[in-house]
């Protein structure tokens, strides 16, 4: 006869809880973690923008700073960097909206639950 722990190990690792069974707090935790990671990526790109520009300008060689900056900002490499920075911020903003949506759902649920309790109390008082 096998023990309970042996049977549990035989089934393999526990999978993630299906989304429809998760409590709202768990949904919020997952959404918040996603937002933090995406915000970090976007902030990193934004904070390194000047350093990346400087590095790209140095590769232009011994030319005036204004000319080096003009060449870099006209390059497809710079356009790709700026596009990735904007996409990262957009992804972070969308993740934040998802997080706020979960907060709103919780507030709606709380209100609905409170209203239902109040209606039950009023029903008992009427009898």
pLDDT in tens, the chain (127 residues): 667 667 666 665 556 777 778 888 999 999 999 999 999 999 999 999 999 999 999 999 999 999 999 999 999 999 999 999 999 999 999 999 999 999 999 999 988 888 888 888 888 776 6
Closest C-alpha among 29, 48, 53, 35 to residue 90: 35
Quote the CA–CA distance of 13 and 69 in Å, as a whole number: 54
User: 10-47 burial by CB neighbour count: b if 16+ within 10 A, else e?
Assistant: eeeeeeeeeeeeeeeeebbebbbebbeebbebbeebee
Strands (E), 1-127: none
CA distance 69 to 87: 23
Structure tokens belonging to residue 112 = 């609905």
User: How much is the pLDDT for 118?
Assistant: 84
Query: pTM for the complete prediction?
Result: 0.72
* Contacts with 58 (C-beta within 8 Å, 6 or more apart), sequence order: 68
Cα–Cα separations (whole angstroms), residue 38 to 11, 42, 100, 122, 127 = 34, 6, 15, 47, 55
Under 8 Å between Cβ of 2 and 45: no
pLDDT at 7: 65
């Amino acid at each position: 006869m096998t023990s309970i722990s042996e049977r549990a190990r035989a089934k393999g690792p526990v999978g993630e809880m299906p989304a429809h069974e998760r409590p709202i707090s768990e949904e919020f935790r997952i959404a918040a973690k996603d937002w933090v990671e995406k915000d970090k990526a976007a902030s990193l790109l934004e904070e390194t923008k000047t350093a990346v520009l400087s590095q790209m300008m140095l590769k232009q060689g011994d030319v005036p700073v204004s000319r080096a900056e003009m060449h870099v900002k006209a390059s497809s490499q710079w356009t790709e960097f700026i596009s990735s920075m904007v996409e990262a911020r957009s992804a972070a903003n969308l993740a934040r909206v998802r997080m706020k949506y979960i907060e709103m759902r919780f507030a709606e649920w709380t209100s609905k639950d409170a209203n239902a309790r109040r209606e039950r109390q009023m029903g008992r008082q009427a009898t």
